[in-house]
Amino acid sequence: MAALTTKILFWSVFATVLACIEIESEGKYGWADKAPTWYRTTGFWGRSYGMAMGGKPLTGYHAFMFFLPVMIFHVPFFMGVEWSIAAEFGAWALYFAWCPMWDYFWFVLNPAYKGKFKREHIWWHAKSCWVGGLFPIDYLVGVVISIVFAGGATWFAGSSTRLIEHLILLGGFGVYTMMLQVFAPLYRHWYAQMRKSDDRSKVTIFYR
């Protein structure tokens, strides 16, 4: 149980850190709206991505960002952990469970979305169905897919342990999410404090 608790805490903190990185780089302009990246809604890949992601546009940023957590979740296989079909399914189970949490943390911590986690305020989630008006169905789909992969890992491993641990993991993610909502005001306060002054003018930036 201690190892599972550590796992829950590590991946939850990782989601928090990555969400904060995106908040620092995007501000209130989600889905790389103002980022110097390309957008695609047409063409095979643009349309396919939109169909799979609830109408969201494909961007250069997201094309690369997709691979970052996927690669990180596969790091153990390149650090001495033996690969197996069960372990591969387990990696994808973790990925699909973790992604909704990462996405939601961006809204929990972002000062621009305090009290605005609603369909009418989030254009890139506006085309998705919302479960009870509380969250995009994408989150629920991710969790369900993660359980399916965990079930596959359990089947290939020949033990119910993996599925049980995955369900506990999901519960742990839920507890951490509730705790983060309690402490989110501290981050938002720090976010505002750090923007009261800026030393950019004191730095030699050549392209200026």
- Tens digits of residue pLDDT in 24-36: 999 999 999 999 9
Q: Are 96 and 146 in contact (CB under 8 A)?
A: yes
Average predicted confidence (pLDDT) for the chain: 94
pTM of the predicted protein model: 0.93
135-136 and 58-59 strand pairing: unpaired
Say what the pLDDT of residue 208 is. Answer: 60
- Domain ranges in the chain are 2-32+82-185
Can you tell me whether residue 11 is helix, strand or coil?
helix
- Tens digits of residue pLDDT in 119-170: 999 999 999 999 999 999 999 999 999 999 999 999 999 888 899 999 999 9
